[in-house]
Structure 1
Amino acid sequence: MAKTYKNLVAEALSQIREIFPWDLQDQLAQQPDTLVVDIREPNEVATGTIAKALLIPRGILESACEWGYSDTVPILVNARQQPVVLVCRSGNRSALAALTLQQLGYEQVYSLKTGIRGWNDYDLPLVTPIGEPVDGEWADQLLNPPVLTQESV
């Protein structure tokens, strides 16, 4: 029987570590070498991201982690021994990505539990990709699109 997306995420969650938004805020203050990687697509990141986050879409994450690719991101390649926190909208894609990074040898990888939506829900600051502040209420509207169900189609 084929697995569902929810099954894949649940499996990943049982094998990775997660960090809550308020704990990430503390960790960034205490461990400035923590690397935050926003794995959402560029159009999603436009709604706001965490200051100083690397913007690496999920579709190129694996090649960004290795030398020898046009997508290689040296700071990420060299982060295998430092804390790396992956961020998506809700914490599902980042859980899958965290499992992948663990398999690639990253030792201190985390997924942001509740994702950027949770970060915003706790009134933590969001910025545009160029560092300008984002209004949390505006971001909230964009971070919570309607959910499609089979019945709604």
Structure 2
Amino acid sequence: MKKFLQLISDCLTDVGEIMPWDLEERLQANPELLVVDVREPYEYDAMHIEGSLCVPRGILESACEWDYEETIPELVRARQREVVVVCRSGYRSVLAAFSLMVLGYENVVSLKTGLRGWNDYEQPLLDAAGEPVDIEVADDYFTSRVREDQLSPK
């Protein structure tokens, strides 16, 4: 049986990653670049990259196709666009980028270090109202909070 990080590692043989400073450059160079945020809506509302598209990981595959309740037309039409997939830490985005590649997306990568790294690089994040999120607030939000009952048994 594979563990979570092994699954991520296996996907990385096919999925490319870029760093936050690369994404900053790509956004400046390509206004058609699509940033797909695969976190849950409540996470997206708390803070996200301006102009990013919220497509929760749980509906990603059906959101990429016509004729589903989850269909997101901009995403369906993006198979030839440059796509960067983001999440909190860069793990869900690897799995999502792999799915997009399998579904025929031609130019897709994952943001290594996720939005946590984007914030560490001091890049802007917006809340649901479109207001800037303070870097320290984002630092606190992205801090891991693994509970005692979530730790491996000793």
Fold conserved between structures, TM > 0.5 = yes
Does the Cα contact within 8 Å between 1:47 and 1:143 map onto a contact in 2?
no
Equivalents in 2 of 1:13, 1:58: separation in Å? 17
What TM-score does the superposition give when structure 2 sets the normalisation length? Answer: 0.94
Greater mean alpha carbon deviation, residues 37-46 or residues 75-84: 37-46
Name the residue aligned to 1:77. Answer: 76
Secondary structure of the residue that 1:150 maps to in structure 2? coil
Query: For each residue in 1:57-102, what CA deviation from the matched residue of structure 2 results, as whole angstroms up to 9, or x when unmatched?
Result: 1000101100010110111000000101110000000001100100
Runs of at least 5 residues in structure 1 that lack an aligned partner in the other structure:
none
Matched, 1:11 2:10: yes
Pairwise CA distance, 1:46:
2.9
Name the residue aligned to 1:150. Answer: 152
Backbone CA RMSD of aligned residues: 1.2
Equivalents in 1 of 2:70, 2:120: separation in Å? 32
Name the residue aligned to 1:36. Answer: 35
Aligned pairs for 1:61-140 within 5 A: 61-140=60-139
Query: For each residue in 1:98-134, what CA deviation from the matched residue of structure 2 results, as whole angstroms up to 9, or x when unmatched?
Result: 0010000000001000000000000000001332111
Does the Cα contact within 8 Å between 1:123 and 1:136 map onto a contact in 2?
yes
Number of aligned residue pairs: 151
- Matched residue type, 1:41: E
Equivalents in 2 of 1:59, 1:82: separation in Å? 22
Greater mean alpha carbon deviation, residues 141-150 or residues 47-56: 141-150
Does the Cα contact within 8 Å between 1:51 and 1:126 map onto a contact in 2?
yes
Equivalents in 2 of 1:129, 1:112: separation in Å? 21
Secondary structure of the residue that 1:126 maps to in structure 2? coil
Aligned-pair identity in percent equals 53
Equivalents in 1 of 2:79, 2:109: separation in Å? 12
- Matched residue type, 2:11: A
Equivalents in 2 of 1:125, 1:111: separation in Å? 18
Does the Cα contact within 8 Å between 1:86 and 1:112 map onto a contact in 2?
yes
What TM-score does the superposition give when structure 1 sets the normalisation length? Answer: 0.94
